[in-house]
Amino acid sequence: MPHSFDIEGTKERLLVLQHLCHGNRSFCKEFRIGRVIEEVLEYEWYEYYAFLKHSVSEHLINCAIKLRMLQDSVKADEQKVDFEKIDRQARKGLKIGKFLSGGNRLNLREACNKIIHATDARLEWCPLDSKTSTKENEPEFWTGMIFLYGTKGPTKWEIELNVPDFCVALFRLVRSLEEEVNWDSLYKYDE
């Protein structure tokens, strides 16, 4: 019997990530979060940045690891689940991200691999009122994009991951697996 997977916990983490993506703009506006803000209200930019990056990283890593382990366990159980088809359907109409270097097409499985193996991760920040450079005393927010960097063998890679769309796609994929996987077969008693 494989590890027991907390599917509901994974869906909860995806929801929390969505809230972090969509709620951080208003949070940063309310508390005037920015690198070059003269008057700090409650949270300094570096303090908020550290909390946000930690939270985003923890949730992404947890979801990516669980999905990869779940896929491998289902395959090892020799269930006839078409992961490529489910992955494609889950991404339909979404832009989960792209390779900027060192790779081809980014699907959910590959995105999870890159999350797990990244050696550097950077959140993309943008001024609240413009798409240009940060102005003095202007709040900033996280755009929902994260740049991941690493190497595979001798090849360096870089991806841009659209966290909101990635979360929606991963949620769809988990829902599809809930319907297609024979859980009784997967969670048979240890022999």
Which H helix or E strand runs over 70? helix 45-76
Write down the pTM of the prediction.
0.87
**Cα 94 to Cα 80: distance, rounded to the nearest angstrom:** 26
Residue entry with tokens 């063998």: 153
What is the per-residue pLDDT across 27-84, written as a single tens digit (0 to 9) for each? 999 988 888 776 767 888 889 999 999 999 999 999 999 998 888 877 776 668 888 9
Q: In this prediction, what percent of the chain has a pLDDT beyond 90?
A: 56
Q: State the average pLDDT over residues 165-189.
A: 79
Residue entry with tokens 């991951």: 161
pLDDT of residue 15: 95
Helix (H, G, I), strand (E, B) or coil at 40: coil
Confidence of residue 147 (pLDDT cuts 50, 70, 90): very high
Q: State the average pLDDT over residues 112-119.
A: 96
More confident residue, 185 or 10: 10
pLDDT of residue 56: 97
pLDDT of residue 50: 95
More confident residue, 75 or 143: 143
pLDDT of residue 182: 61
Confidence of residue 190 (pLDDT cuts 50, 70, 90): low
pLDDT of residue 187: 54
The total number of residues written for the chain in this structure: 191
Neighbours of 36 (CB within 10 A): 13
Distance from the Cα of residue 97 to its chain's centroid: 10
Neighbours of 118 (CB within 10 A): 22
pLDDT of residue 1: 43
Domain spans of the chain, in order of start: 7-186
**Cα 28 to Cα 25: distance, rounded to the nearest angstrom:** 5
What's the DSSP call for residue 5? P
154 CB-contact burial (10 Å; exposed 0-12 / middle 13-18 / buried 19+): exposed
